[in-house]
Structure 1
Amino acid sequence: MRSRTRFHLRLLSASAALAIAAPVFAQAAVPAASAAEDLAADDADGGLGAIVVTATRRETDLQKTPISISVIGTQGIADRHIQSLYNLTDGSIPSLRVTTFEARQSALTIGIRGIVPYDQNQTARDGGVSVYIDGVALGKTQGLNAALFDIERMEVLKGPQGTLFGRNTEGGALSIVTKAPTGQFGGHIEAGIGNYGSRSADAHVDLPAFANLALKFEGVYQHQDPTVKNPLAGATGWNYYDRKGGRVAARWTPVSGLTADFAYDYAKDENTPNFSQLINYNPNGYVVGSYNGATTGTALFLPGTTTPCGGTIAAGTSRPACIAPLAPAVVPHPGRQSSSDIGVPQQPSVDITHGFSANVKYEAAPWLELRSITAWRGVSTDQWDNSGGAARQTFSPSANFSRYSLSFLRQNQFSQEFQAVGSVDQFDYVVGAYYYTEHATEHAATPLSNLWNADGTGYTVRSPIVSGTVTSANSGYQPFDPSCINTLAATVPESANSCQFIARASEAHDHSYSLFGNVTYTPAGLDIVHLTAGGRWTKDRRRGRLYVVNNTAQPFTFKNRISRFDPMLNLAVDVSSDVHAYAKYATGFRAGGANDRSQQFNAFGPETVKSYEVGAKMDFWQHRARLNVAGYIMDRSNTQFDFDLYDTASGSPTLGSHIEQTQNAGKTKIRGVEVDLTVMPVDNLTLTGSYAYTHWKAPSAVNPITGGRPQQLYIVYTPKHAASGAIDYVLPVPAIAGDANIRFHLDGNYLGRQYSFQLEPTRTDSSFVVNGRITLGDIAVGGNSKVSFSVWSRNLFNTTYYYRRSAANSSPVQNYNGSTLVSTNYGGVLGDYANLNPPRTFGGEISVHF
């Protein structure tokens, strides 16, 4: 206990010392800056320009906003070739973690400062970091990989944002701000091609305003062929995507002081998961049994004997241990595969997102602006995920293998927020009210799509939908056969035209109400001090039902309701005009819910975070350098953790299924330091660097399904060390035409080793990924039109690493009754499997601005 306390004090003292020492750094002219280099335009003196953010629900200068924020803007998005949020998985913003759920691009996991969900991909679960588009929270992670429209900036707000942004922001928030209509004719069109058959095109056109109405139209298209081929004819390979989308926005200014922004967007994202490779076989050296012993059948025997071995071995028996042999058709691949050894049925998952928003602002008085944000949004996901192939299941003669994970989710939401924002004398204030409601449904099926022959040298492909249909491995497959009627048609009407064996079906309703306010007081005569106090009262009501388990109708229901208050205090001091320090206390929470992969839709409560943060933001060297530093301590209570088991209990409603139970498992402690630096040593050259240190300690807890001994829990996708750096240089070439220039960009992103499963001590590889771009731009071609030519590469050096790795199938499963070992099961021992990062991609683009 004393050692932890000393660590807390050292962290606070070190961060405070940096803030106090800021004037000394300034005198020494040490290069410094913020992580938002790509928004920083030259100021009048040739230095780094101001960056505007809206983290406090009003437009403020990043350097004077007393919370830790990273920003990436239009230029940074282009330089790093960020087409969707999935492209942030390389660690471009060290404190922000973006990765796939399972191996699926169709559902992303978003985390900040060690608050990273393991499984929120359900009807009645939320994450601890919310994603916002123009102030509208997105309720589900499905659809987050859609193509980005015309983005002005992405703000990463670090630490609990429970006061102004509400629930599910205990780790922070990712706020995406689009470019509003300008009311003047203009825009840009871009097209590109690249390796793996990639091609893209997007158009963004502003029309001249008429009748005080400005319109903007956008369309995007992005495509990439699979990077891992699928040998099965007619089936799609892995890491494929085809994205299309459109958006129309309108800005109406009927009278002075009134601005109404309306937008509608629709996007369709077809994609396949990343490939799961078997990277080794029997790494622990167990005896390998044989199916070719003196007796017939599929039981395992010690090689050359008639002695049965393996399977489930009761404690205290003399039955020898052994594992199944590796199928001859399967070869472990520790390095990146370009083609699977086994062909499996797979068609692209389809995510459709759509929404309408109305954002109205009215300047009622010099001291008061009234705002309303109204939004309807929806997402549908048809998931067809066969990422595992032969990497996750052992060989058994004439047995089915390769889990085809099918999920069909539908969600719609409505939100309404009112705000009053203004300033009176020494007070700046934001007060408001918020309402959110959501309805989500999902049904899922997990057929085994392939069938081994007797000796494992070959296989056939079963239809994933119609039971009993077997086709040749090389003749393709029927993706969907609507010719038969499911016996649960009355219970699950959305699957009435299929023969799916429904593993589960659930629905959930969610209602949330809140009142919030923030007031900043700057004392008269002491305008260097700013004291902010805020709070948010929230009432949540969530209910749902799990009405099908293993193709049998079930009556399982849950209800969950809470009422809580989240406070915030922030003391900011302007040490000088260029140095700003702050200390902040805030709380936040992640809503409770229920796990629809559980046996009976068991409910769990919310988890909460208390955060203590100190920081300093500093400008030096005549605004050619900035340094932002933050240190924080976060204590999370009632941590939501998932425990899982393959159910073999006779009479269980989930017999033969993978089940998952979520419980509030205790306290988690997270400590960290963040540093952002930007330097412009000479005109046109910008150097940036960001670093995040994250230390965490998670609890151990007893698996509520199996009992037994406490298990250590792990926070996923949170490396202790993460860093990113970039070099940007702009070389004017007026000899070509007008303001023509060549822009060079190179960034490198490092992530330390991390855990990818909550119950496994197995860690992933560390990684260092470099991206680059060269642009010959702003070539005048007549009138106000300019053309640019670019070449780019992501993962320039083709770095290969495991971003997700599991050893769950490398060791036997020990079954306990309380603290007593009952049996040991060797039936699932195979080897480690892993998912690898995307390979090197590159291409060229041409864009026209007019």
Structure 2
Amino acid sequence: MRNIKGSFISALLGGAALATLASPALAAGAGPDDAPKADTAPQPAADPEPGDDGQLNEIVVTATKRETNLQKTPIAIAVVDSEALANRHVQSLLDLADGAVPSLRVATFEARQTALTIGIRGIVPLDANQPAREQGVGVYLDGVYLGRQHGLNAALFDIDRIEVLKGPQGTLFGRNTEGGALSIVSKAPTGEFDGRVTAGIANYGGYNGAVHLDLPEVANVAVKVDGVIQYQGPTTKNPLAGQTGWNYFDRRGLRVAARWTPASNVTADLSYDVGYDANSPFYSQLLNVNPNGCTAGPVTAGSTCVLPGTNTTTLSGSVKPVPSIVVVNGTSRMDVADIGVPQQPSIDRTHGYTANLRWDVAPGLQLRSITAWRGVSSEQWDNSGGAHRPPVFTPGGAFSRYSLADLYQHQFSQELQAVGHSGAFDYVAGLYYFNESARDDAATPNSNTWNSTGTGYTINDPTSQQPGSRSIDRASRALAKSYAVFGQVTYSPVDMLHLTLGGRGTWDDKSGDLYIVNNIARPYTYEQHSSRFNPLVVLAWDAAPNINLYAKYSTGYRAGGASSRSVTYRQFGPEDATSYEVGLKSEFLDRRVRLNLAGYVMDRKGSQVDFSSVSFDAITNSNRNTVETINAPGTTKIRGLEADLTVSPARGLTLSASYAYTYTDIPPVLNPFTGVTQKVYIVYTPRNAASGAIDYSTAVGGAKLKLHLDANYAQATQSFDQFATKNDASFIVNGRISLADIDIGHGGNTLTVAAWSRNLFNEAHVYRRDPSNSLPSLTGSISNVLGDYGNFNSPRTFGLEGTVSF
């Protein structure tokens, strides 16, 4: 396998001349804007593959609130278009976790598909899975901010492109975009009759289907309907009969969009979407047993059996033996779990209404209104650990922590924009309002009980696992209101020079209460009011035709909050990021080569760092798992380099590459549980990451034969703020071969058939590794030491797919 991987990498390196590691439909760049216009309606991104003349085509984005050429837009941005999504068989955002955009990192929260952790350029929150916590990267759907990370793994509809805006976006996009923004843009109604029907099958009992139907315009109204279904059976089976296995999903969704043009200068886009996602977590395996060699007695020099943030000198207790029926496997993902446990699907439901109104009130001036109501509910059932995490074996003792949690959120947002140009000036100005209500609860019963010898087990009464009968560990409510006013102006005194100045004022009002802890009513509340002004300065110079240089100063911030996993609902403050960036954007060799380079220095103050521990609750006289969030002192340093290359060496052939280097360093932080200052880390941020692809297309009869192969590498990185332990490096290869545009008659109807594979080499790596169960407690006891446990990535999946276009 290593020889195969090495040969593949060598072939890519030789083919791309510099480095061939991003998709041909992935593009990145930053540079000046050439007199952008306030267009009346978003247009699809152009196909970045070479045209008939072999040149690379233009890519259109809306990252600056107007349609612009990607190559002349003053934002470092990568675009994943509809063809790239199809080539990689991306069905949901979690499929981008393979590293299609190296500076974009996507991971599950814990092992769960119910909530995604999304990071850009080292801004990656460990635990935003709470009502009063915020993300560090804003996720937008057709211009609407999605307030929670819950529901982000829903099925994607008919997506035109995903724009990955890198670096702070505090001016045009607002709070919680200090790392950047992920903007998902749907295909709009065309007003002409058109349609596509897709059906596919895959291993693990998988299947997928989609219907995309554009209806003819009637009475100035065009309607588009999108329906999708996606299914995959468990990749790790559950030995307990009738119970759900792990890494399963069953997604369905419907979107209806209408475009009304009552006058030539007025456009109203209205849409409604609803999604259903039944899923189960990835299986959590026991990777090793007592890897630090913990034994009772004095802690010797060089010992690794030391809990970070403590000054323990003596260890007490003993490491208990692991029952013989427990499988320890740190080298390969398990196809069948060793312990059968109760496990039912988690259920995520999303829905939303959006009204996007645009009025060309005068030449060069467009007024816009974006109104949206959205909601998400998440019912979590996570029994992925089994006997692979404490409580460790005790004759007749309970085990297998079943994490049961519900979250319900509703949000309303209103944005008003004025977008225009006058002479040498292009401008955007706006007002924004956001109102959110969210609540959650959680319970963690143990679902199994050992027999006296540890050679068998029984299943506990399931009544305690059901809503209404659970012993609630915690329950909280949170409210948030945000107000903002923003503006941005680009001045071009001469054709080759562009100066952009922008700013955004934001006012946040947040409050909440933690009203149940350990099944007892509590009086804990929090209230926080904060405000920020986030400026932006960009100087761009068209040094030569298709050669653009830029320097950028940008800022952003993430709102503060309170941890509902804290026994006392402890507050923490906002964090602020300031970024200095320089870059080159270029095309040469008659637009057959694109090369983008960017380097940045980002400083963050008030970094929100999570510490977890088993702590004592004096009211119930019991211990519980607790998470406290602390604002780190000093300045967190994030430094990076990014390179993107696309080459068209011959007609029909595209080679592309992306690389990201990210250095991060947080000053030592005082551990709130131990009172000792310790080293902490930024999670899911590899020092080196790369992605590359080869695409080839040629005519075969009246059809097109298309070949796609991409490879994605990421260096090992931490999974937890407080532990130096790293997950594994990864190398994922995806492929697709298709015969497209086969004429099947009946007025130009066509058929496309394709075979695809994700993780083609069936590479296995631990993407999340938890060392907390292999270390002593705060008191130095090793009685609950078991071993590291973690989660492997998805195995190889493959399938066949057919699409009829009419």
Specify if TM > 0.5: yes
* Matched residue, 1:424: 422
Answer yes or no: is the 8 Å Cα contact 2:270–2:354 preserved in 1: yes
Q: 2:184 and 2:592 mapped to 1: Cα distance?
A: 27
Q: Distance in 2 between matches of 1:271 and 1:29?
A: 41
Q: Distance in 2 between matches of 1:593 and 1:529?
A: 42
Amino acid at match of 2:328: P
Q: Distance in 2 between matches of 1:353 and 1:273?
A: 19
- Give runs of aligned pairs for residues 40-189 of structure 1, distance below 5 A: 40-43=48-51, 45-189=53-197
Partner in structure 2 of residue 769 of structure 1: 732
**Where do 1:661-700 residues align within 5 Å?**
661-666=628-633, 667-700=635-668
Which whole-Å CA distance do the structure 1 matches of 2:19 and 2:663 have between them?
28
The alignment partner of 2:780 has SS state of strand
Q: Given that residues 35 and 677 in structure 1 are in contact (C-alpha distance below 8 angstroms), is that contact kept between their aligned partners in structure 2? A: no
Match of 1:705 among 673, 687, 692: 673
Alignment equivalent of 2:722, drawn from 746, 753, 759: 759
Q: Is the 8 A contact 2:25 2:83 kept in 1?
A: no
Cα distance in structure 1, aligned partners of 2:708 and 2:49: 16
Determine the C-alpha separation between the residues in 2 that align with 1:390 and 1:330: 7
1:811 is displaced (CA, Å) by 2.3
- Counterpart selection for 1:803 from 767, 784, 791: 767
- Matched with 1:194 is 202
Residue from 673, 677, 686 that aligns with 1:719: 686
1:508 aligns with 2:478: yes
Structure 2 residue 348 is matched with structure 1 residue 351: yes
Counterpart of 1:729 in structure 2 is: 696
User: Which residue of 2 is the match for residue 16 of structure 1?
Assistant: none
Could you tell me how far 1:630 is from its partner in structure 2?
0.5
Q: Distance in 2 between matches of 1:30 and 1:843?
A: 30
Shift in alpha-carbon separation, 1:646–1:733, aligned structure 2, 3 A: same
SS at match of 1:141: coil
- Report deviation, 1:500: 0.5
Q: After the TM superposition, which residues 445-844 of structure 1 pair with which residues of structure 2 at under 5 Å, given as runs?
A: 445-466=443-464, 480=466, 498-523=468-493, 526-648=494-616, 651-652=618-619, 655-666=622-633, 667-707=635-675, 709-734=676-701, 738=702, 740-782=703-745, 783-813=747-777, 815=778, 823-844=779-800
Opposite residue 62 of structure 1, the aligned amino acid is L
| Distance in 2 (alpha carbons) for counterparts of 1:539 and 1:809 | 41
% identical aligned pairs: 56
State whether residues 128 and 169 of structure 1, in contact with CA within 8 Å, keep that contact through their aligned partners in structure 2.
yes
Alignment match, 1:433: 431
Structure 2 contact 25–47 (Cα < 8 Å) conserved: no
Deviation at 1:284, TM superposition (A): 2.6
1-side partners of 2:500 and 2:320: how far apart? 64
Question: 2 CA distance for matches of 1:539 and 1:847?
Answer: 48
Change (3 A) 1:461 1:337: same
Are 1:276 and 1:388, in contact at CA under 8 Å, matched by a contact in 2? yes
Distance 1:437 1:319, change over 3 A: closer
Contact 1:42–1:48 (Cα < 8 Å) also in 2: yes
Amino acid at match of 2:491: Y
Q: One-letter code of the match for 1:81?
A: H
**Shift of residue 395 of structure 1?**
1.1
8 Å contact 1:160–1:170 — kept in the other structure?
A: yes
Structure 2 CA distance for aligned equivalents of residues 47 and 796 of structure 1: 30
The within-5 A match list for 1:290-439 is 321-334=317-330, 335-393=332-390, 394-439=392-437
Alignment deviations for residues 530-575 of structure 1 (CA, whole Å, 9 cap, x no partner): 0000000000000000001111011110001111100000000001
CA contact (8 A) 2:358 2:367 kept: yes
Verify: 1:250 aligned to 2:258, yes or no.
Answer: yes
Residue 657 of structure 1 aligns to which amino acid in structure 2? Answer: R
Q: Quick one: distance in 2 between partners of 1:770 and 1:626?
A: 23
Shift of residue 187, structure 1, vs aligned partner: 1.4
Give me the whole-angstrom Cα distance separating, in 2, the residues matched to 1:316 and 1:330.
30
AA in 2 matched with 1:638: G
> Aligned-pair distance for 1:36?
2.1
Q: Is the 8 A contact 1:34 1:626 kept in 2?
A: no
Ranges of 4+ aligned residues in structure 1 off by more than 6 Å: 28-34, 314-320
The farther-off stretch of 384-393 and 106-115 is 384-393
Q: Deviations over 1:712-759 (max 9, x none)?
A: 11100000000000000001112xxx3x11100000000001000111
Cα deviation 1:228-272 (Å, max 9, x = unaligned): 000111110000000001000000001011111000000000000
**CA 1:157/1:653 → structure 2, altered by over 3 Å: closer, same or farther?**
farther
Call closer, same or farther: CA 1:316–1:643 in 2, change over 3 Å.
Answer: closer
Deviation of 1:318 after TM superposition, in Å, equals 9.3
SS in 2 for 1:809: helix
Provide the alpha-carbon RMSD of the alignment: 2.0
* Gap change, CA 1:565 and 1:787, over 3 Å in 2: same
Compute the displacement of 1:598 (Å).
0.5
**Per-residue deviation, 1:577:** 1.8
- Residue pair 2:162, 2:185 contacting (<8 A) in 1 also: yes
Distance 1:340 1:580 in 2: 55
Question: How far apart, in 1, do the equivalents of 2:326 and 2:539 lie?
Answer: 61
Q: Write the deviation string for residues 157-181 of structure 1: whole angstroms up to 9, x where unpaired.
A: 0000000000000000000000000
The amino acid of 2:539's aligned partner reads L
CA 1:29–1:677: 2 relative to 1, 3 Å: closer
1:319 positional shift: 8.8
* Matching residue's letter, 1:830: L
Offset at 1:45? 3.5
| Match of residue 303 from structure 1 | none
Paired residue secondary structure (2:660): strand
Where do 5+ consecutive residues of structure 2 fail to align? 1-16, 29-45, 298-309
C-alpha spacing 1:425/1:389, structure 2 compared with 1 (3 Å): same
The answer to whether the Cα contact below 8 Å between 1:66 and 1:581 also exists between their aligned partners in 2 is: no
Deviation string for 1:101-125 (max 9, x for gaps)?
0000110000000000000000111
Q: Displacement, 1:279?
A: 1.2
Aligned pairs for 1:248-287 within 5 A = 248-286=256-294
Match of 1:846 in 2: 802
Q: In structure 1, list runs of 5 or more residues that go unmatched.
A: 1-27, 290-313, 467-478, 481-494, 816-822
2:563/2:628 contact within 8 Å kept: yes
Cα offset for 1:30? 12
Q: What is the rounded CA distance, in whole Å, between the counterparts of 1:369 and 1:415 in structure 2?
A: 20
**Pair member with larger Rg:** 1
The alpha carbon displacement at 1:41 in A equals 4.1
* 1:44 Cα deviation from its structure 2 partner: 6.4
CA contact (8 A) 1:447 1:464 kept: no
Give the match for residue 36 of structure 1. Answer: 27
| Change beyond 3 A, Cα 1:43–1:318 | closer
Aligned length: 755
Cα distance change on mapping 1:629 and 1:315 into 2, 3 Å: closer
**Change beyond 3 A, Cα 1:384–1:679:** same
1:343: how far off? 0.5
Which SS does the other structure have where 2:784 is aligned? coil
TM-aligned CA deviation for residue 39 of structure 1:
3.3
Separation in 2, partners of 1:271, 1:454: 34
Distance 1:104 1:317, change over 3 A: closer
Describe the shift of the 1:67–1:554 C-alpha distance in structure 2 as closer, same or farther (beyond 3 A).
same
